[in-house]
Amino acid sequence: MRAIPILYFSNETDRGGAEEHLLALLRGLDRNLFRLHLACTNEMAEKLQPDVPDDVEVFPVTLRKPTHFAGMIRLARILRRRQIGILHSHLFYASLFASPVGRLVGVPLVFETPHLKERWRKGRLKSSYAVDRMIGRLVDYYVAVSKANAQYLIEEKMLPPGKIVVIRNGCDVNRFNPAHEVPNGLRASLGFDPGDPVLVEMARLEPQKGHHVLLGALPLIRARFPKTRVVCVGEGSLREELTQQAAALGLKDCVRFVGFQPNVEDWLALATATVLPSFYEGLPLAAIESLAAGKPVLASAVDGTPEVVRHGITGFTFRPGHSGELAETACRILREPELGRAMGQAGRRWVLEHFSLRQQIDKTQALYCQAWERREYGRQNEATLGTLAVAHGKPLGSLSAEGERQTNSERIV
């Protein structure tokens, strides 16, 4: 089998978990099986450039609005000229624009990874998912990153179950070591003392991630553990608003916003525990990485998060938006450091077993290859049916319908 040309498409401008997922595939997929390309916004191309493998062609494409006709034409030309066999969009907003273009130019297979539950939707049309189902007719396969994500696609979006495959997010476990030490000078650069407990949130500064819930919990935590500090690793639109909230709560001396940091393992080494008070998720990579580093996680019990953060075993979960519950779980970890260490150890074992990057890549490769082979088998079968139809004087449709029923019964689930 010749190497299949794949084009990944993202129209996001901020680097987050979906982009880390995409980068993992670009790094890990077998080059004997696939030729890899990436189309994304100029902003994202700049942010990802240091981490994209040298053999991956990157095409800047602006395609975020229906009026971006130049972006549509550019994407269509890339798909044609590179003879793309699989177009794989990440997040529905990317698929909304790219999947129709892919179908119009005859891309054989179209994939979408939705990544998360879209609780941001407002208005009757958007919340009804009618557009999603319309675009879904053009998509061959959906990759759900968690069981909860698959359930959302089936039960709320009402997409065909036969198109949905669960491949959980994973991380490079070997990159994270519970024995990794905090780099010299890092604590001092933040103004922290050596013994200060530190809660770290690794997430974009966006409403989804619930930073204000953590800031709301911090006065309650510091009332019992006054030396507690918070570090927010990530960039986003809420930075100024969150900085103002911290100042208004009298927390300016103990909260640090350090922006995007590529050396994730250094910041995890700093953490007593990590916090993820999100309002919706797919399967949070930040929680997986934290557990791989042997750090317990305090997270809101939303969507796929409890598949990683097992309450009382690898960390604690709480109701989304409840600063008081977050404060209680944090205080327990701070009060019982041995419990936190035990949870971190259990979490690393859990990640090693269920969330390795190798598993994610192997399952994605298998899906691509099986889908491609099914398509090739279907084309060959259709050609055979056409010959039979001519020989027996029967309409092609009456013969191909039987083949289609067989193909549907064998779909990957």
Helix (H) or strand (E) holding 20: helix 17-28
Helix (H) or strand (E) holding 6: strand 4-10
pLDDT value for 378: 73
Strand 315-318: give its sheet, edge to edge: 255-259, 229-233, 198-202, 273-276, 297-300, 315-318
| pLDDT under 50: residue ranges of the chain | 385-413
Q: Is 146 exposed, middle or buried (0-12, 13-18, 19+ CB in 10 A)?
A: buried
What the chain holds in terms of domains, given with CATH numbers, is 4-170 (3.40.50.2000), 173-355 (3.40.50.2000)
User: Hunting for tokens 């507690």 — which residue is that?
Assistant: 228
CA separation (Å) from 241 to 115, 160, 211, 237?
A: 27, 41, 10, 8
CB atoms within 10 A of CB 282: 26
Q: Are 94 and 12 in contact (CB under 8 A)?
A: yes
pLDDT value for 125: 57
End-to-end CA distance of the chain: 24
Percentage of the chain exceeding pLDDT 90: 84
CA separation (Å) from 200 to 75, 248, 265?
A: 39, 20, 12
CA separation (Å) from 154 to 126, 137, 165?
A: 17, 14, 11
Q: Are 147 and 303 in contact (CB under 8 A)?
A: no
Residues 6+ apart with CB under 8 A from 44: 10, 12, 13, 15, 19
pLDDT value for 148: 93
Q: Is 406 exposed, middle or buried (0-12, 13-18, 19+ CB in 10 A)?
A: exposed
Q: Is 365 exposed, middle or buried (0-12, 13-18, 19+ CB in 10 A)?
A: middle
Q: Is 220 exposed, middle or buried (0-12, 13-18, 19+ CB in 10 A)?
A: middle
Q: Are 399 and 385 in contact (CB under 8 A)?
A: yes
Provide the mean pLDDT of the chain: 90
Residue-wise pLDDT tens digits, 6-61: 999 999 988 888 999 999 999 999 999 999 999 999 999 999 999 999 999 999 99
Residue-wise pLDDT tens digits, 282-316: 899 999 999 999 999 999 999 999 999 999 999 99
Alpha-carbon distance 232 to 4, whole Å? 40
CA separation (Å) from 173 to 26, 355, 368?
A: 17, 9, 24
Q: Select from 138, 137, 135 the least CA-distant residue to 108.
A: 138
Tell me the pTM: 0.80
